[in-house]
């Protein structure tokens, strides 16, 4: 088991993991966040949220100007040695994706994309404040949508997207359309090799997530915490090292703390 004195990196999903699924509160994890900060252990957000949503949240969490993964792995932000932010996109950009989706809407597939919603509608559906809802709409390399059609149509829809190099994955609340090459695992692999080179250190990684879209990330970390969640589909991992994967009994930030308590030994 790792200790707080090892070269650790914590990689975390937000919604339903560090943030409560209903209230978006992270405060139950405050004491663990403080401990990580005291030991200078990097906390890497790896979320379906946009960069515009993640950056102010990082400030609240006391981890401003540190690397993160946004939009389910479609976007990675790192910093130069001089502290300037650098954006890396792992596949198609928003304009392209939106264009394909509009064409499918015209072919009478019924769905509501984030771009189709006013900020007020977004706020009502997500429970976010209008300010935060607007940040959720500032997408750079993926689109989120609510499916309003049959299951048969959905299969047809995913096949047509696949022909354009796009994929649809399930998040906690919405479906996310993005490049087939992009996912949380691929983004994390890229970011870890970047950080290991930069710091000339091999890090031990602990990942935390609650939904199927976290699975590629949870396959790539040394220790995986599957937080109890509300998702319809379970998180299924292929990894065989059972003792390196833990399912929490608690939801959200309480489960987040439970997972770190489980894997990080006090000494």
Interface residue list for Mg ion (CB under 5 A):
13, 15-16, 172, 210-211
Starting from the edge strand earliest in sequence, which strands make up the sheet with 223-228, in order?
Answer: 43-45, 8-12, 204-209, 223-228, 245-251
Q: Shortest gap between Cβ of 233 and Mg ion (angstroms)?
A: 12
Ramachandran angles phi, psi of 143, nearest 5°: -130, 145
Host H or E run for residue 223: strand 223-228
Q: Shortest gap between Cβ of 256 and Mg ion (angstroms)?
A: 11
Could you write out the DSSP letters of every residue in 67-85? -EEEGGGTEEEEE-TTS-E
Of 65, 89, 61, nearest to 79 by C-alpha is: 65
Please say which residue, 109 or 224, places its beta carbon nearer to Mg ion: 224
Among 6, 13, 15, 214, the one annotated catalytic: 13
Annotated catalytic residue 13 = yes
Please say which residue, 20 or 98, places its beta carbon nearer to Mg ion: 20
Neighbour-count burial of 201, counting CB atoms closer than 10 A to its CB (0-12 exposed, 13-18 middle, 19+ buried): exposed
DSSP 3-state assignment of 180?
coil
Q: Shortest gap between Cβ of 175 and Mg ion (angstroms)?
A: 14
Q: How many CA atoms lie within 13 A of 242 on its CB side?
A: 0
Of 184, 208, 203, 175, nearest to 69 by C-alpha is: 184
Q: Shortest gap between Cβ of 128 and Mg ion (angstroms)?
A: 15
CA distance 246 to 259: 7
Which token pair is 131? 């300010």
Q: Shortest gap between Cβ of 125 and Mg ion (angstroms)?
A: 17
Which residue has the CB atom at the shortest distance from Mg ion? Answer: 16
Mind telling me the catalytic residues? 13
């Amino acid at each position: 088991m790792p200790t707080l004195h090892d070269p650790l990196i914590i990689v975390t999903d937000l919604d339903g993991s560090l943030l409560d699924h209903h209230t978006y509160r992270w405060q139950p994890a405050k004491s663990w966040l403080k401990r990580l900060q005291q030991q200078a252990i990097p906390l890497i957000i790896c979320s379906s949220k946009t960069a515009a949503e993640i950056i102010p949240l990082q400030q609240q969490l006391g981890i401003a100007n540190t690397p993160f993964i946004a939009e389910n792995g479609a976007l990675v932000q790192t910093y130069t040695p001089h502290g300037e932010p650098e954006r890396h996109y792992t596949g198609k950009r928003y304009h392209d994706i939106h264009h394909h989706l509009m064409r499918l809407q015209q072919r009478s597939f019924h769905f509501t994309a984030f771009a189709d919603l006013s900020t007020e509608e977004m706020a009502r559906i997500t429970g976010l404040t209008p300010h935060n809802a607007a940040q959720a709409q500032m997408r750079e390399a993926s689109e989120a949508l609510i499916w309003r059609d049959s299951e048969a149509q959905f299969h047809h829809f995913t096949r047509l997207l696949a022909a354009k190099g796009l994929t649809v994955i399930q998040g906690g609340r919405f479906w996310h359309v993005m490049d087939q090459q992009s996912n949380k695992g691929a983004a994390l692999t890229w970011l870890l090799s970047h950080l290991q080179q930069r710091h000339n250190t091999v890090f031990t990684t602990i990942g935390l997530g609650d939904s199927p879209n976290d699975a590629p990330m949870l396959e790539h970390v040394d220790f995986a915490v599957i937080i109890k969640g509300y998702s319809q589909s379970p998180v299924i991992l292929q990894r065989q090292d059972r003792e390196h994967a833990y399912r929490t009994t608690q939801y959200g930030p309480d489960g987040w703390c439970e997972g770190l308590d489980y894997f990080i030994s006090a000494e």
